[in-house]
Structure 1
Amino acid sequence: MEQDTRYRIPTLILEIVLIVIGLLFLVPFYFLISNSLKTFGEILSDAAALPSTLQWSNYKSGWEAINFPSAFKNSLIITVVSNLLLVLLSSMTAYQMVRHNTKFNKALLALFVAAMVIPFQSIMLPLTDVTSRIGLSDSLIGLIIAYLGFGAPLSVFLFHGSMKSIPLEIEQAARVDGSGTYGVFFRIVYPMMRPMYVTIIILNTLWIWNDYLLPSLMLTSESLQTIPIATYMLFGQYTKQWDLALPALVLGIAPVIIFFLAMQKYIVSGIAAGAVKG
């Protein structure tokens, strides 16, 4: 019996609805990009209209206003180092918990899960007090350590759930061939966990790169400002420099969008490979 491949009306309607929903998600990007190319007067007069003249000079002014190279460097260092440490330490911690399912490790996992529900606002003041006492305030190292503490619970939880699906027999075969614990982890477990690694890196990148609250509490020097902090400086109590802030926002989110589009194929391929193996 031949499969019916005719293009039906319900399929057409569904595709139209999905296209409309997709366009709705692009509306904020339209307002952001179009207004970033307008003069300050045009933004206030009609924010929805297209710019009469493309003001590319806004990007140069925004670049200089937030000292973009310095802010970009700080954000990049914090995001990359925090991500590398988070995925490495969290995955190794989760692997130890899964393969040694003792009462202590079960209690430790419960503490990680409990830490996920603690509101950040409830520990802001103790955090600033402790970091200042031990000399970690106003430093990139101190901020990275703070991100490790706040990001570890979710990362360990996700790695823990994913590692349960890895067959123990594969690791036992590798140990018979002479591989040690680290060899088994990096040669066997890591390749099989690559989709989860990519997923956690993307989640943490979106969080750390766009985070404003934690850097604003720990960083006070102008030379250590991240992109969100530098951009916020354009919004004063009485004046909002939209013609500078909007180009700065575009410059700030562009690296994250490029990173997400570059990593997306690895997520799709990883999920597809996992489905075939299952």
Structure 2
Amino acid sequence: MREATSKKVGWSILAIFTALTFLAPLYIAFINSFKTQKGIYSNVIGLPGKDTFTLNNYFQAFKDLNFLHSFMNSLLITVVSTVIIVIFASMAAWMLVRSKTKISKFLFFLFAGAMLIPFQSVMLPLINLMGKLNLLNPAGLVFMYLGFGSSLSIIMYHGFIKNIPVELEEAATIDGCNKFQIFWLIVFPLLKPITVTVSILNAMWIWNDFLLPQLVINRPKWHTLPLKMFYFFGQYSKQWNLALAGLVLGMIPIIIFYLFAQKHIVKGVTQGSIK
């Protein structure tokens, strides 16, 4: 009994330490977003005092980031990319599951193997190719997100679709449904848990991505929020107070999205892992 209690206490301490480790950067970013530049340099981890507390960081960051325009750019690219990934990945996974051939198995392992290829190894050739095709713009960025996001999404859908009885599709075929109707009217509605999971994971990745948009988007009017954040880091000075305020502003939408949909993540992953 004492041994079991000791183990619980040990795991609880470990869990608290791990949580604090992950939350510490968020805490530091949040409290310092309310400080002046001098207040940040004088005490990084302390709460803002009377002489260092200010709300002007948020107003100035909102203005300097051209927040509404940048927010709409990020939102448009994130939503369009996520929707396209969900559509193509779900259809591809369904066909790979139902087509029990050597080619379908090969394609599945090809998608799985693609996850092992680092983005940095294909970065420069890809950008060179997209430049020749005149796709260094938001449309080309969405296309590249589809390519990089499909592998994990297909694997997740693949495991989930295996649990859907094929008899449902056979019954729909007898009723006169074609392939398109079977998928969108029968199969896709049953994929809601894993679809939400895939959407959350891709949306968080795309919303926070900096490297790929920096390589692809070459006009200020197309800049997303992560790209605009770079405005606060000059060659000789860094405006940490404004940068942290802008960072908090940029985190709010994706955190709200996550909180509303988080319950589906574990459900989607666990159901997709059961065969």
Please, what TM-score do these two structures have when normalized by structure 2?
0.89
Instruction: Give CA-to-partner distance per residue, 1:217-245, whole Å, 9 cap, x none.
Output: 01111111111111022112221100110
Q: Deviations over 1:70-128 (max 9, x none)?
A: 11111101100000000011100111111112222222223222221111111111111
Partners of 1:11 and 1:119 in 2: how far apart?
39
Contact 2:156–2:269 (CA under 8 A) maintained in structure 1: no
Q: Secondary structure at the match of 1:47?
A: coil
Where does 1:1-278 land on structure 2 (aligned, <5 Å)? 15=12, 18-19=15-16, 21-53=18-50, 54-137=53-136, 139-267=137-265
Q: Cα–Cα, structure 1 residues 70 and 154, in superposed 2: closer, same or farther, change >3 Å?
A: same
Q: Relative to 1, partners in 2 of residues 1:47 and 1:214: Cα closer, same or farther, differing over 3 Å?
A: same
Q: Report the aligned-residue RMSD.
A: 2.4
SS in 1 for 2:30: helix
**How far apart, in 2, do the equivalents of 1:194 and 1:132 lie?**
37
Contact 2:130/2:140, CA 8 A, preserved across alignment: yes
Measure the CA separation in 2 of the matches of 1:21 and 1:160: 32
CA displacement, residues 174-218 of structure 1 (integer Å, 9 cap, x when unaligned): 222333222221232223221111111111111111111100001
For residues 19 and 115 of structure 1, do their structure 2 counterparts lie closer, same or farther at Cα, with a shift above 3 Å needed? Answer: closer
**Shift in Å at residue 26 of structure 1?**
2.3
Distance in 2 between residues matched to 1:271 and 1:39, nearest whole Å: 43
- How far off is 1:20 after superposition? 5.1
State the alpha-carbon separation in 1 of the partners of residues 149 and 118 from structure 2.
Answer: 13
Listed as ranges, the gaps of 5+ residues in structure 2 are none
- 1: CA distance, partners of 2:103 / 2:15: 48
Give the secondary-structure state (helix, strand or coil) at the position aligned to 2:135: coil
Structure 1 residues 191 and 271: CA distance shift in structure 2, 3 A: farther
The alpha-carbon distance between structure 1 residues 124 and 179, as it changes in their structure 2 partners (threshold 3 A), is same
Opposite residue 41 of structure 2, the aligned amino acid is L
Tell me the percent identity.
44
> How far, CA to CA, are the matches of 1:112 and 1:10 in structure 2?
41
Q: Which moved more, 1:147-156 or 1:42-51?
A: 147-156
Q: Check the 8 A contact 2:82/2:202 in 1, yes or no.
A: yes
Amino acid at match of 1:91: S
SS at match of 1:233: helix
**C-alpha distance in 2, partners of 1:270/1:94?**
15
Amino acid at match of 1:100: S
Looking at structure 2, the residues matched to 122 and 255 of structure 1 have their Cα atoms a distance apart, in angstroms, of 32
Distance, in Å, in 2 between the alignment partners of 1:150 and 1:271 is 20
| Structure 1: gaps of 5 or more residues | 1-7
Give the Cα separation in 2 of the matches to 1:175 and 1:121. 45
Shift of 1:13: 6.7
Larger mean CA deviation between 151-160 and 248-257 belongs to 151-160
